[in-house]
Amino acid sequence: MTRFRFFITVLIIAAVFSGIISADKVNTKKLYQEGMALYKNSKYEEAIVIFDKLITGYPKSDWAALALFQKAIHMKDVAYDTANAQTLFKQFISSYSKHSKVPEAYIKLSEISLESATSMMELNAPLAILENVIRTYPKSQYCAEAAFEAAQIYHRMGDIKKAYTKLQLIDQRFRNTTFYADALLLKGVIHFQQEEYTEAAKQFQAVVNLQSASAAGYKAGQYLQATQRLDIAAGYVYSSDPLFYTRGVMKFENPTSLFMNRYNQLVVFSSKEQQYHIFDMAGNLVNSTPVSDAEIFYMSNTGSTYSADKTGNINFMGQIQQLSITTDTDSITLKTPKGIATDSFNNIYLINNTADKILRFSSAGAFQTAVSKREFDEIIALRIDNFDHLFVIDDDFDGILIFKQTGADFGAIKSKGDSYEMDSPVNIKFDSLNNIYVFDDDRMEIFVFNTNQQFIRSIKIPAPIKKVIDFIVSDSAEIFILDEELEKLLKIS
């Protein structure tokens, strides 16, 4: 009898504890759902209070793990508190090492590390995180994401072999993921850069077949057009009769610069009008935006705008900064720079007002260094390619100087080669495949070099174009020219 009563007691206690645990599970799940409902309605502060209650009050609950992950996402993507987000993601990985979202947390950490990088050397940190995900979770969809992100970074660093290896991994294992089309697109770009045009066209066509309506499909279609128009012997074939690009034969008052934004729209800056005009690829005016007291104007590939006035104030996306150089001995306030450029880390490069130095500033405007110890005579042009190499035309050098982001010499393109000769190079642009286009003012000719600085072809600028003030190259290798005398934007294709 005593044994029977003991057994009944044990069952009752077990039932009670089971009820408590079950209640706890329902309670934590309900709390999390309440927090997420608030979060989805943009009531972030109230949601974070509930998440914190879960994290501290029920740390062993699965819902606490999700609450911590969601809080980390919020700090990264909404609050833009990357330091706090980094701490929370690390806490999540440490506390819930077996959770299914751990590989995603690692990828978020790599994104934070990538966003904070200010040089090519610092790209090794996010790469290390991504390589760990690839090794640790080889069959997960996160392996595909990590492989693609790593491929992009390796390509950006110029390590084509490692980039291609990561893309092959996606091609072989992860064709059913969302990264497959993007991987094929980047493979096509690499083949094109290696002048393997047949294989490049094959990859681009595969992307178009897979996702013709996506961003990747559109870009692949543009590259495919460029590949199909390529005559390997003669280079791109351009019509001898340039078309007026803008609808209504729009004229600009004193046009000075031409850019292409991330939406593949053309941007024309007019210094006299003090505004920039944006056109779609059909030549239609999208909008016109005024700027204030701009002596020079620059737009980055991401669409960020920079301008400088006579006193040296730099207007960055509406925020005006007075840039100065502070050393151990003195502080110099910059006068109007002669040129502006940015790298992929949003560092700002200025040609100083005497055109004999290139100065690098952080995206926040803090002076970092004078790029290169070389003494320039008069810098005519500064451009930065997709790999953050600086291309400089200096009046005292017979050709184009190339520097790494650190300022170290990287190479040069001489004015005269075995099959070409430039007289007066004054402008440099790059296409999306990082081929180099150099405009020669005396010859009215564009000289094209590949990523290894080897001469490919030259393109004669046809009449009625008279005075090229600036030019740009589209994804499909169309060349748009801003004519200072005609005050018009034209296209040769």
Secondary structure of residue 42 in the 3-state scheme: coil
CATH class of 235-492: mainly beta
pLDDT in tens, 285-316: 888 888 888 888 898 877 888 887 776 677 76
Q: Report the sign of the C-alpha dihedral through residues 195, 478, 350, 279, in that order.
A: negative
Greatest Cα-to-Cα distance within the chain, rounded to the nearest angstrom? 112
Domain locations in the chain?
A: 25-231, 235-492
Asked if the domains 25-231 and 235-492 are classified in one and the same CATH topology, the answer is: no
CB distance 142 to 103 below 8 Å:
yes
Least confident of 20-24, 101-105, 110-114: 20-24
- Give the pLDDT band of residue 350 (cuts 50, 70, 90): confident
CB distance 380 to 393 below 8 Å:
yes
Secondary structure of residue 269 in the 3-state scheme: strand
Q: Name the amino acid, one letter, at 68.
A: L
Token pair in block for residue 180: 């497959």
pLDDT in tens, 326-344: 544 445 556 667 888 999 8
Q: Full-prediction pTM beyond 0.75?
A: no
Question: How far apart are alpha carbons 187 and 231 in whole angstroms?
Answer: 21
Residues 6+ apart with CB under 8 A from 128: none
Query: Which superfamily, per CATH, for 25-231?
Result: Tetratricopeptide repeat domain (1.25.40.10)
Token pair in block for residue 339: 């040129």
Higher pLDDT, 299 or 187: 187
Question: How far apart are alpha carbons 221 and 433 in whole angstroms?
Answer: 14
Residues 6+ apart with CB under 8 A from 22: none
* Residue at token pair 């024309």: 268
Residue 399's beta-bridge partner residues? 414
pLDDT for res 257: 92
Q: In degrees rounded to 5, what are phi and psi of residue 356?
A: -125, 5
Q: Specify the DSSP element, H or E, that contains 225.
A: helix 215-228
| Confidence check: pLDDT of 3 > 60 | no
Distances, alpha carbon 7 to alpha carbons 12, 227, 331, in Å: 9, 81, 85
CB distance 333 to 324 below 8 Å:
yes
Q: Which of 366, 374, 452, 458 is nearest to 420 (CA)?
A: 458
Residues 6+ apart with CB under 8 A from 327: none
- Give the pLDDT band of residue 236 (cuts 50, 70, 90): very low
At how many degrees (to 10) do helices 124-136 and 141-157 cross? Answer: 150
Question: How far apart are alpha carbons 178 and 188 in whole angstroms?
Answer: 17
Question: How far apart are alpha carbons 185 and 477 in whole angstroms?
Answer: 17
Least confident of 44-48, 268-272, 275-279, 352-356: 352-356
